Amino acid sequence: MKFTELKLNEQLLEAMSYMNFDAATPIQEQAIPVILEDKDLIACAQTGTGKTAAFVLPVLNKLIGNSSKNADTLIIVPTRELAIQIEQQIQGFAYFVGVGSVAVYGGGDGKEFDNQKDALKNGADIIVATPGRLLSHLKLGYVNFNNIKHLILDEADRMLDMGFIDDIQAIISYIKSNHQTLMFSATMPASINQLAKKILHKPTEITLSISKPAEGVDHKAYLVFEKQKVKILNNILKERKHYNSIIIFTSTKSMVSEIVRSLNKSGFPAKGISSNLEQDEREQVLRDYKSKRTRILVATDVMSRGIDVKEINMVINYDVPHDAEDYVHRVGRTARVKSKGEAITFVNEKDMYKLKKIELLIESSIPKLKLPDEIGEGPKWSDKKTKPRFKRKFHKKKPKFNKNKPKKKE
């Protein structure tokens, strides 16, 4: 379906044409009419399907010609990176429609906090915020949410995983009840349904491909011992010199630095991004990666939903994510919106059962490739969970009771 068929304002359609938005994705096609009709919505769609535009476009459409100086729309997101990404996309769409927006997130210095405070006091049309920082501003008493007409929770499942449920409910208490609520999530666990029942009113439900990677992803795996990972990583990068955008995911912040050092030492310039960096440093790393000045980015799972970069050629999972859902979000960085991409996962003997859980979730077997001869043989495939080895406990022997020993006289 073309966007011109969705009853959107001509000014907005003009802005979209400049951004090369022509045909709507399935989530956009289904969600936009519902939002334009002012109905509450709970939508489940995988990463990379165009969810942001699905809620931003109809909200902007409603705001055209709005003369009110009060905040109209609040978008709550789990990470500062996602807040920045969404606010930048809003700015692109809003260029021709005269709508103001502000991103509110933690990190930075006191000056940044003051800038956010001024923007909130002056009443930006759209506020994109992380829960913790927004709540800090609300508690100081200068934020007016009495005229909020749209409340949007994006990546709702991730926010609940990160423990933001209490903050979200506290924020909602500052908003009047007569508003439209939209909830977008990549997965639909029971906790999301429970939250939806509390804050949504007779919502329309849209579910598209729950927890399934994009069709364009070419999945592969190498069964490796831990000490072989560096060698196979170098081998892959040598073979794919023509790739100009590669992202490597690992589960810990400490491994980000270790992998970056190893790659740079091996002649593969790379940069890492994690919460160990200051906010301005993270933003610079992302800018360099988006502009292709940095070819290889190493990141943690926290970043897997906050990185929106077009044409990522390949995702490498240096380790298997703990949760099968996180695999979907990691590989969702490539093959976005009908493009093609490659996803390679390194699997050691302890993580094979995790890969099996992923295969069950995506309903597909991931090919296990043979390691190059120079790297040697890896472990044999087994999908049984490795039992941890417990050290034998030695207890002090209790003294034996001697029946023949005479009792002490009292």
CATH number at residue 192: 3.40.50.300
Domain check: are 73 and 46 in the same one? yes
Question: Would you say the C-alpha torsion 42, 44, 47, 53 has a positive or negative sign?
Answer: negative
At residue 135, the pLDDT reads: 96
What pLDDT is stored for residue 249 in this prediction?
95
Claim to verify: residue 221 and residue 202 sit in the same structural domain:
no
Same domain, 177 and 273: no
Given this model, what pLDDT does residue 392 score? 46
Quick one: pLDDT at residue 375? Answer: 95
Q: Which of 149, 180, 208 is the last residue of a domain?
A: 208
Among 101, 106, 125, 131, smallest CA distance to 195 is for: 131
In this structure, are 255 and 195 located in the same domain? no
Residue 374 lies in a domain: no
Alpha carbons within 13 A on the beta-carbon side of 309: 31
Model pLDDT, residue 47:
64
Among residues 357, 361, 350, 303, the alpha carbon closest in space to that of 330 is found at 303
Task: Tell me the pTM.
Answer: 0.68
Look up tokens 């995506």; give the residue. 362
Helices 110-122 + 131-139 axis angle, to 10: 70
CA distance between the termini of the chain: 98
157 and 114 within one domain = yes
Exposed/middle/buried for residue 409 (C-beta within 10 Å: 0-12, 13-18, 19+): exposed
- Could you tell me whether strands 314-317 and 270-273 are parallel, antiparallel, or unpaired per DSSP bridges? unpaired
Q: Judge contact between 79 and 305, C-beta under 8 A.
A: yes
Does residue 126 sit in the same domain as residue 187?
yes
Verify that 28 and 170 share a domain, yes or no.
yes
Asked if residue 44 lies in contact with residue 206, where contact means CB atoms within 8 angstroms, the answer is yes
DSSP string, 213-280: --TTEEEEEEE--GGGHHHHHHHHHHHTTT---EEEEES-HHHHHHHHHHHHHTT--EEEESTTS-HH
Task: Identify the domain containing residue 200 by its residue range.
Answer: 3-208
Q: Is residue 127 part of a domain?
A: yes
Radius of gyration of the chain (CA): 25
Q: Is there a contact between 127 and 73 (Cβ–Cβ < 8 Å)?
A: yes
- What is the structure's pLDDT at 48? 67
Judgement on whether residues 52 and 124 belong to the same structural domain of the protein: yes
Is 408 inside a domain boundary?
Answer: no
Ranges of residues in the chain whose predicted pLDDT is under 50: 390-396, 401, 408-410
322 & 221 share domain:
yes
Q: What is the tally of structural domains in the chain?
A: 2
Domain boundary among 171, 189, 208: 208
